Structure 1
Amino acid sequence: MSSRECETLSPVLDTLHTGVAIYDAVSGTVLDANARLEEILGYTPNQLRELSVAEYTANTYPHTESEFHDRLSAAANGNPQQFMWRAKRADGELIWIQVFTSRQRPTADRCVHVEVRDITQHYDTHHRAELFWRILRHNLRNEAAVIIGCAEQAMKDPESEPFKKVISTIRSRGEKLGNIATSVRQIEDAVTDSKKSTVRVSAMSAVRDVANRVSAEHPDADIRVTERERMRIDINEAFEYALAHAVENAVVHSSNESPVVEITVGPSPNTGRTEIRIEDANSPIPAEEIAALNSPTVTTSTSHGSGIGLFVMKWCVESLGGEVSFESRDSGGNAVCLLLPPK
């Protein structure tokens, strides 16, 4: 049976709140789609017919076009599929979708019925709860344990020589608890803040404002900002939180007395989105820390006592429809990329 013999969607399906499409399981192309799918992905049915799956998939997540095709093939062979996907809308915004695939009818071996739901808000709520549970279970508990231990030591022998060191540890750990609380508030603000509060600005101007603030707090740091191409983005406080964490991390984790941080602004070569790239010459970010971003409940001895700056970057940028990627530079050091929808 050819794809031309697949049934088209009923006009009634345009009234649904669920995106519905018919896919050709062999080519992976859309044959027909309802109005709700157009709202979810931002493409008209005619546009979707001309696009490959890769063109509306977030290419910095571990989702590939071949994996999507495998799901379609399995459904065409009578094995319905249910999975989550990181999709890229026509305007460059990234969303989480839940996909259900099934064979359209027993005789239509090339045609797959696909239902799509936008679950971005549900996904954010679920993983935010996981993250906050991780913070309560490990970060806060560990810091509190150190403070209690130091306090008990100081009470036993307040005249000892290490007394000042113990008090210093208590103070630094208390400050760390305060920083964790601030980071949690920033994540909460980013997730709950309406996108109506965003303003459209020059990306270079927004980046320079944050860089100047960090420079004022760390006068020994050399923070350089370069514009490859003029870009405009929609931002709010979430953007400022994310970029400030990225730049400050590059400064405070440097072993040099005068750390150099290079920030470039321009279009992403692979997606056309606005890319803000922060480069340093520091030791690599531990792989466990990056892995924990997508699995907040999975912790290791390395990640137990760490801060949550990377989580702030991730949640704040994703709240604006973007994403964060981390790379190890060939010349040494790290590159943190904030990718935002182009405007």
Structure 2
Amino acid sequence: MTTTSFEFDDEADQFYSSLEVGVTVHDSTTGDICYANEYAEDVYGYPAEKLRTIDIVDVSTDSLSKSKFIKQIRAAAAGHPQQFEWRVTRPSGEILWIEMRLSELSVEDQSYVIAVIQNIDDYKMKLRHFYLLNRIIRHNFRNKLQIVSGGFSQIDNQSNGNKVFDQMRRAIAELVRLTSWVNKITSLTGDEKNTDRVNVHTLLETEVEKYRSNYPDINWELASENLYIDANPLLQKAFHELIDNAVRHNAHEDLAITVSASENVADQQIDIQIIDTGEPIPDIEIAPLLNSDEPNQLKHGDKIGLWEVQTIVNRHQGILKLKENNTDRKVIEITLPLADPK
């Protein structure tokens, strides 16, 4: 880590400290942080002294490798500015999106790289909401309206329209459900987070007991500690959706569903897993969700449940992962920050 001494003069230090963006100065060879203003401390969640002793790549939750970061640092030092987005984990366990711009900097004839950092978490959430709503309007609403439109055409050409009426009723009911879902999702865009300190065990137990009583032929297991998070009421919806998917999309004979929650002390996070022994999730449903940043790449899948879960989890500064997806078992994991101890 950084061992060389670096200081701005008082005027430069006051200037960078007054900015409403994060500023860090990096060694142009190793990428180590030599300087960080107060805004950068707030973004990363570490004091400047700590930032100078850690490898910045270690706080990344994405696939940003040390070699790739060094390559971008050296390119910036050579006069080729760099810009990229990535997610970082704060010491509190919160996960947020940041944008980083790298440029060359010379101080007393020494070569450095200056990074301008912005917290773009709210922007990324609003962008995700836009893509989600756009997808629903273009795909789900359109498909259901086509059923209704086609139904009227069939009624005009046949005397017995009972079957057609049933199809139209189902399509209209789905449109009403989608409208309700859109209202819930758009409510997440408000500045009011509306969170309470809740016990994860209680949330999971409520869902498991509900399904255990309705589906006693499934082998249920709940393995959860008493752990607390700051949660919006919609987080319960995310747990419900994942458990419901395991129940509805698998044959119940010999099906086992395990719901667990454990503390990751080192990262101040909670790992929540929904494990089942049913069939793998089709690639068309999971590839765009778990392998790309935005949901607008989903072209043919009809399900929106996992998109809903991911949106809710992201709003809680968490991550949704598919840990396993094979014929033996599926493991879906939600990682969320622990609530501050009280």
Q: If the length of structure 2 is used for normalisation, what is the TM-score? A: 0.87
Tell me the alpha carbon deviations over residues 278-301 of structure 1, each in whole angstroms, 9 at most, x when there is no partner.
11233322333334333322232x
Aligned to 1:172: 170
Output the CA distance in 1 between the equivalents of 2:4 and 2:209. Answer: 59
**Alignment partner of 1:295 is 2:294:** yes
How many angstroms apart in 1 are the aligned matches of 2:250 and 2:191? Answer: 33
Q: Structure 2 CA distance, aligned partners of 1:174 and 1:279?
A: 34
% same residue:
25
1:38-187 aligned at under 5 Å gives the runs 38-58=41-61, 61-105=62-106, 107-109=109-111, 111-159=112-160, 164-187=162-185
SS of residue paired to 2:46? coil
Q: 1:34 matched to which residue of 2? A: 37
Pair 1:322 & 2:318 matched: yes
SS of 1:95's equivalent in the other structure is strand
Aligned length: 331
Distance 1:143 1:171, change over 3 A: same
Deviation at 1:6, TM superposition (A): 5.0
Q: Is the 8 A contact 2:280 2:330 kept in 1?
A: yes
The 3 A distance-change label for structure 1 pair 130 and 333 is same
- The answer to whether the 8 Å contact 1:56/1:89 transfers is yes
C-alpha RMSD of matched pairs (Å): 2.6
Between the aligned partners of 2:66 and 2:267, the Cα distance in structure 1 is 15
Q: For the Cα contact (< 8 Å) 1:19–1:36, is it kept in 2?
A: yes
Aligned letter for 1:131?
A: L
- 2:199 aligned partner, one-letter code: S
Task: Mark the CA change 1:217 to 1:177 in structure 2 (over 3 Å): closer, same or farther.
Answer: farther
Give the letter for the 2:209 counterpart.
Answer: N
Q: Cα distance, 1:247 vs. partner?
A: 0.9
Q: CA deviation at 1:337?
A: 0.8
Q: Distance in 1 between matches of 2:150 and 2:81?
A: 55
Deviates more, 1:258-267 or 1:95-104: 258-267
How far is the alpha carbon of 1:81 from its aligned partner? 0.5
In structure 1, the residue matched to 2:188 is: 190
Q: Distance in 2 between matches of 1:19 and 1:55?
A: 18
Task: Check conservation: 1:53, 1:68, Cα contact below 8 A.
Answer: no
Match of 1:25 in 2: 28
Alignment of 1:167-316 (within 5 A): 167-192=165-190, 194-195=192-193, 197-215=194-212, 221-227=218-224, 229-256=225-252, 259-268=255-264, 271-293=267-289, 294-300=293-299, 302-303=300-301, 306-316=302-312
Specify whether residues 169 and 132 from structure 1 end up closer, same or farther in structure 2 by C-alpha distance, changes over 3 A only: same
Q: Tell whether the 8 Å contact from 2:279 to 2:326 is kept in structure 1 after alignment.
A: no
Query: Structure 2 unaligned runs (5+)?
Result: none
